[in-house]
Structures are given as C-alpha cells and as structure tokens.
Amino acid sequence: MNRNLVCRCELRRLDATSQDDLVDMTFVDLAQWTASAFENKARLCFLGKGIYLSVRLEGFTNYVLKAKVMTLVEKIDRLKRDKKAIILAHNYQRPEIQDIADYVGDSIGLSRRAMEEKEAKIIVFSAVDFMAESAAILNPDKKVLLPTLGARCPMAQMLTVEQIKRWKVLYPLAPVVLYVNTLASVKAYCDVCCTSANAVKVVNSVNAETVLFGPDHNLAEYVRRKTGKTIIPIPERGFCPTHMLFQPEDVHVLKLKYPDAIVMVHPECTVEMQDIADFIGSTSQMCRHAKKSNAETFIVATEEGIIHRLKKENPGKQFVSAYEDAVCPNMKLNTLERLYTSLKEEKYVITVPEPVAKKARKALEKMFELK
C-alpha cells in the first residue's frame, strides 16, 4: 500500500450537530487519527459513498483499502483519456479490472475488438501473453501493453515450432489448425487459428479429413466429436491446468443441492466433464446461453472470473462455480496497481518480429474471414 497516498475525507463526532471541515490526510495521518478516534468515538466517512463506518480496526482497514481502489480507478480513467488508450480484459480477469475495461470478452472477442480498433493509440491488454501478442500482430501501428510479464499461459508454452515440424513430417498433407492459446512464433507455422468459440467451424472449413490440432487435447477431442474428422492433438497431452481441476464428482454433489441447475462446461475441460454438461461452449457462448435460458441456476465449469460477468449481466439468476478454487494464477497476476503502472509508464510493450508477425497475421485473419 502507498502509505503517503492522499485521500479526502470528513471527520464527524457522534455528538456533533454540524459537519466538520473537510481535510486531506495521508494513510499515515489517518491511521494516527484512528487511534485517537477510539477515545473520541468519532466516525469516518469517505466522500462519494455516503457510508458511515464506526471505527473498528478491521473494518477501518478494509475501508481504507477500498478508498485506495477508487482512487486508482480515477487515475486509470484519467490516463486512458490523456493517452487515448483502451483497456481490453479477458473474462477471467479480476472483477475490478473487468469493471474498468472498455471491453470484456473471450479470446476471439478480444482479438476481433483489437483488430477493429481505430481510435486508440495504446491498447492495454489485461490478459495473458499470447492474447497481447495477437493484439500486437493485428495492430502493428499501435502500442500494446501487458500489465505484467508474468501473465503467461502455461498451455501456450506446451507447443513449440520444433514439435509442429516433427508432426508435419509424419502428416505432411494435414493442415495445422492452432488454438489462439499459442505463442506468435508457433502461430507463424499454422494454416489457420481458432478459438474455443469457433474451433468446430474452423476445422469444418479446411479441406482435409485429417487435421493437426493444438495445443489443447480436450478441445481437440471436442472438435473430433463434433466434426467426425481425424484430429491429431499436438502435443499429445496439451492442457489447461485450471480447467483440469474440474471433476464430475464435484458437479454431482452440486446437483444434489441445485437439481434444476444447468451445467455449463468449457471445452478445455476433460471429456468426462463434457459428458455431463448441459451446454459446452466458450466463455462468451456461456454468457449468451445464460441470457437466453429460462433456467434460474447455473453450475459453471470454467475459471472463476467469468462468474462476475455472469452475475452482472443476469442479476436475477444464480451462478455457482463447479469448483471454487479453479483460479488461473497467471490471469490474476494483473491487478489494478499493475494496470495503472503499465499505463502510466507505458510498459510492458509487446512486440512481435515482423517476419513472424506477417505469417501469424495471415493465420489470424483467415480465422476472421470465416462466416
């Protein structure tokens, strides 16, 4: 915490009949005042909220932290305007980042939004590395920022160029269809990209019955079932660590509590999870399905960040995570503090070498050409 951050507050005694003057205080000053406030029985109110808080240590601390978040939001908004920047956030981002973003979506939605962006000079991509790379590839004239370099997708690291070359030796006539959850260097060696939302459509569009598909083998199996084609997963056991946490046993227990709930499952989940699903789809498809469905309760098998958006868009419905600890630690490395620093200092700039970007761009654009 920045202990010298200045916040504006009002001090009021319980027995006061009129409001005291407004004062500017640092958190250090505020902490010192709190100690005396116990004796004076004072209350604290942060302007703009209208909520009075009796001064108890734990409650006071939580309220100060919330005031800090609101201050960061205001600073980020100002920087966005001054620098002509937009913030794109994945559905798995923290709630406070989703709330401040200009657009929230899944990988295909974010990629499309990045490609269509005309006004912004800076794109802050609050997600993981491969998504920021795709934005940089599709927007070579814009500065693309990733709030933290540690936000790397484990699955994207599982497929290398060398692996693709080896598989192409074994299947020289098979087209390579790669999930966007891959690094730019790998995309440069594929024929077309896809997302979990359009993987079936993309594979159906290629003129081949045998397809090399990577890097998620669960999504590959989902595509195989839907298309009837021979899908060769590369690597053989590529996976998303977070989606592997979902197990049918947990869903069965939840169904005892919520017997009428609709089970929505992401195709990166295991085949066993897919088999018990009422609906299988990407995060954006889950959001659309939840809106259209007459069901009131949904059990959701994907990273917990999507629950915030689902509840926000469907206030009258209930959403329960199929496994509450299904948190992507890499996605959650992006925080408001890091986003603010990234925008203020214009770091970390994501660049892709032009020879690589040129090839990868073709694979991405071919995906968007499909209707």
**DSSP state string for 190-213:** -SEEE-TTTHHHHHHHSS-SEEEE
pLDDT (mean) for 79-98? 97
Full 3-state SS string of 41-62: CEEEEECCCCCEEECCHHHHHH
| 32 within some domain | yes
Residue 25, pLDDT score: 44
Q: Are residues 135 and 163 in the same domain?
A: no
| 38 within some domain | yes
For the cut 50, the answer to whether the pLDDT of residue 245 exceeds it is yes
Positive or negative torsion for Cα 275, 300, 155, 108: positive
Residue 85: strand pairing partners? 122
E strand spans, the chain = 6-13, 22-26, 42-46, 52-54, 85-90, 103-105, 122-126, 143-145, 176-179, 192-194, 210-214, 230-233, 262-265, 279-280, 297-301, 318-321
Rounded to whole angstroms, the Cα distance separating 170 from 167 reads 5
For the cut 60, the answer to whether the pLDDT of residue 291 exceeds it is yes
pLDDT (mean) for 86-94? 97
Q: Are residues 269 and 306 in the same domain?
A: yes
| 353 within some domain | no
What tens digit of pLDDT does each residue of 326-361 get?
Answer: 999 999 999 999 999 999 999 999 999 999 999 999
Residue 370, pLDDT score: 84
For residue 242, the SS3 value is coil
| CA–CA distances in Å: residue 271 to residues 169, 202, 224, 262 | 29, 21, 12, 18
Q: Are residues 236 and 280 in the same domain?
A: no
Rounded to whole angstroms, the Cα distance separating 306 from 312 reads 10
User: Amino acid identity of 225?
Assistant: R
For residue 111, the SS3 value is helix
What tens digit of pLDDT does each residue of 149-208 get?
Answer: 999 999 999 999 999 999 999 999 999 999 999 999 999 999 999 999 999 999 999 999
CATH of residue 112's domain is: 3.40.50.10800
Q: By residue range, what is the domain housing residue 29? A: 6-77
| 69 within some domain | yes
Q: Are residues 192 and 129 in the same domain?
A: no
371, 165 in Cβ contact below 8 A? Answer: no
Confidence of residue 115 (pLDDT cuts 50, 70, 90): confident
Sheet hosting strand 230-233, strand order edge to edge: 192-194, 176-179, 210-214, 230-233
- The residue out of 77, 100, 127 marking a domain boundary is 77
Rounded to whole angstroms, the Cα distance separating 6 from 157 reads 42
| 368 within some domain | no
- The residue out of 77, 107, 136 marking a domain boundary is 77
Q: Are residues 145 and 123 in the same domain?
A: yes
Q: Long-range contacts of range 253-262, CB-CB < 8 Å, 24 or more positions apart?
A: 254/299, 254/320, 254/322, 255/299, 258/297, 258/299, 258/318, 258/320, 260/295, 260/296, 260/297, 261/295, 261/297, 261/298, 261/299, 261/320, 262/293, 262/295, 262/297, 262/298, 262/299
pLDDT (mean) for 103-123? 87
321, 300 in Cβ contact below 8 A? Answer: yes
Residue 114, pLDDT score: 80
Confidence of residue 110 (pLDDT cuts 50, 70, 90): confident
Residue 108, pLDDT score: 75
Residue 280: strand pairing partners? 265
Q: What's the Rg (C-alpha) of the chain?
A: 24
For the cut 60, the answer to whether the pLDDT of residue 52 exceeds it is no
For the cut 60, the answer to whether the pLDDT of residue 51 exceeds it is no
pLDDT (mean) for 307-327? 98
For the cut 90, the answer to whether the pLDDT of residue 57 exceeds it is no
Number of domains in the chain: 4
- The residue out of 43, 62, 77 marking a domain boundary is 77
Q: How many residues does the chain have?
A: 371
| 360 within some domain | no
pLDDT (mean) for 117-129? 93
What is the token pair recorded at 335? 């925080």
Q: Are residues 208 and 169 in the same domain?
A: yes
Of 147, 2, 148, nearest in space to 65 by CA? 2
